[in-house]
Amino acid sequence: MIDNVKQKIMEFIISEKNLLPSDIQEDTPLISTGIIDSISTLSLVDFIETTFNIQFEPFEVDQENLNTVQKIADFILRKQMN
Amino acid sequence: MKALKELIVRLYPTEATALMVPGKPDISYQQLVESFKKISTQLADLGIKPGDRIGICSASKSDTIIVIGACLMADMIYVPMEAHQAVSRNCAIITSNGLRAILFDPLITVSYEQHISVDSRSTILNLDFIGLALESQNEIIIHPDLAFILNTSGSTGMPKGVMITHQNAWSFIQWTTRQYRFLTSDRFASIAPLHFDLSVFDVFVALHTQATLVLFDASMAKNPLILAQYISEFQISILYSTPSLLSSLVDFGKLSNHTYLRLRYIFFAGEPYPIEKFKQLHTQIPHASYSNWYGPTETNVVTYYNMPIDVQTMTQSIPIGKTCAHMDSLMKQDPDSNLSELLICGPSVSPGYFNSRNLTDQSFILVDGRNWYKTGDLVTIDENGDYIFHGRKDRMVKRRGYRIELDELQHHFCTYPGVIQGAIVAKTRDNLVVIYAVYKSIQLNSLLDIRNFMLDRLPLYMIPDHFIRRDALPLTSTGKIDLQVLISSI
Burial of B232 (0-12, 13-18, 19+ CB in 10 A): middle
Tell me whether residues A19 and B447 touch, CB distance under 8 A: yes
| Average per-residue pLDDT for chain B | 93
Residue-wise pLDDT tens digits, B302-361 = 999 999 989 988 888 999 999 999 999 999 998 878 899 999 999 999 999 999 999 999
How many Å apart are CA B459 and CA B89, to the nearest integer?
Answer: 8
Contacts of A34 in chain B (CB under 8 A): 451-452, 455, 460, 463
Minimum-distance CB partner of B226 among A18, A46, A58: A58
Alpha helices in B202-356, H assignment, sequence order: 206-209, 218-221, 224-233, 243-252, 275-284
Asked if B431 and B277 touch (Cβ cutoff 8 Å), the reply is yes
Supply the pLDDT for residue B295.
96
Smallest CA–CA separation between A4 and chain B, in Å? 24
- Transcribe B120-173 into DSSP letters: EEEEETTEEEEEE-----PPPPPPTTEEEEEEE--TTSS-EEEEEEHHHHHHHH
Asked if B475 and B482 touch (Cβ cutoff 8 Å), the reply is yes
- pLDDT-derived band at B169 (thresholds 50, 70, 90) equals very high
Find, among B305, B315, B460, B441, the residue nearest to B386 by Cα. B305
Q: How many CB pairs under 8 A join A and B?
A: 49
Q: What separation, in Å, do the N-terminal and C-terminal C-alpha atoms of chain A show?
A: 17
Q: What is the pTM of this model?
A: 0.89
Tell me whether residues B222 and A20 touch, CB distance under 8 A: no
Contacts of A37 in chain B (CB under 8 A): 460-461, 463
Supply the pLDDT for residue B431.
76
Residue B139: pLDDT above 90? no
Q: How far is CA B69 from CA A35, B11, B65, B166, in A?
A: 37, 11, 6, 13
Contacts of B223 in chain A (CB under 8 A): 58, 61
| Average per-residue pLDDT for chain A | 88
User: Which letter does DSSP use for residue B307 in this model?
Assistant: P
Residue-wise pLDDT tens digits, B207-232 = 999 999 999 998 898 899 999 999 99
Contacts of A30 in chain B (CB under 8 A): none
Supply the pLDDT for residue A36.
85
Smallest CA–CA separation between B56 and chain A, in Å? 23
Supply the pLDDT for residue B369.
87
User: Which letter does DSSP use for residue B182 in this model?
Assistant: -
Return all residues near A5 (Cβ < 8 A) that are at least 6 apart.
Answer: A52, A73, A76, A77
How many Å apart are CA B401 and CA B267, to the nearest integer?
Answer: 13
Tell me whether residues B448 and A39 touch, CB distance under 8 A: no
Residue B418: pLDDT above 70? yes
Q: How far is CA A58 from CA A61, B196, B251, B313, in A?
A: 6, 25, 14, 34
Supply the pLDDT for residue B134.
75
How many Å apart are CA B202 and CA B238, to the nearest integer?
Answer: 9
Residue B478: pLDDT above 90? no
- Transcribe B223-264 into DSSP letters: -HHHHHHHHHHTT--EEEE-HHHHHHHHHHS-GGGS--TT--
Tell me whether residues A18 and B466 touch, CB distance under 8 A: yes
Residue A12: pLDDT above 70? yes
Asked if B80 and B91 touch (Cβ cutoff 8 Å), the reply is no
Residue that wins the pLDDT comparison between B465 and B352: B352
Residue B138: pLDDT above 70? no
Asked if B62 and B27 touch (Cβ cutoff 8 Å), the reply is yes
Residue B394: pLDDT above 90? no
How many Å apart are CA B140 and CA B354, to the nearest integer?
Answer: 9
Task: Give the SS3 label for residue B190.
Answer: strand
Tell me whether residues A42 and B251 touch, CB distance under 8 A: yes
Tell me whether residues B222 and A56 touch, CB distance under 8 A: no
Best residue of A22, A38, A61 to probe chain B, by most B CBs closer than 10 Å: A38
Supply the pLDDT for residue A33.
78
Q: How far is CA B147 from CA A42, B121, B129, B176, B199, in A?
A: 37, 24, 20, 19, 14
Asked if B239 and B265 touch (Cβ cutoff 8 Å), the reply is yes
Burial of A22 (0-12, 13-18, 19+ CB in 10 A): exposed
The nearest alpha carbon in chain B to A45 belongs to B252
Contacts of B256 in chain A (CB under 8 A): none
Supply the pLDDT for residue B472.
84
Burial of B369 (0-12, 13-18, 19+ CB in 10 A): exposed
Region B261-284: mean pLDDT is 94
Region B139-167: mean pLDDT is 90
% pLDDT > 90, chain B: 72
Supply the pLDDT for residue A38.
78
Mode of pairing for the β-strands spanning B238-241 and B101-104: unpaired
How many Å apart are CA A6 and CA A25, to the nearest integer?
Answer: 10
How many Å apart are CA B265 and CA B263, to the nearest integer?
Answer: 6
Best residue of B465, B467, B468 to probe chain A, by most A CBs closer than 10 Å: B465
- pLDDT-derived band at B135 (thresholds 50, 70, 90) equals low
- Transcribe A62-76 into DSSP letters: SHHHHSSHHHHHHHH
Residue-wise pLDDT tens digits, A14-49 = 888 777 788 889 999 988 777 887 778 888 999 999
Tell me whether residues B252 and A19 touch, CB distance under 8 A: no
User: Which letter does DSSP use for residue B193 in this model?
Assistant: -
Residue-wise pLDDT tens digits, B73-98 = 999 999 999 998 889 999 999 999 99
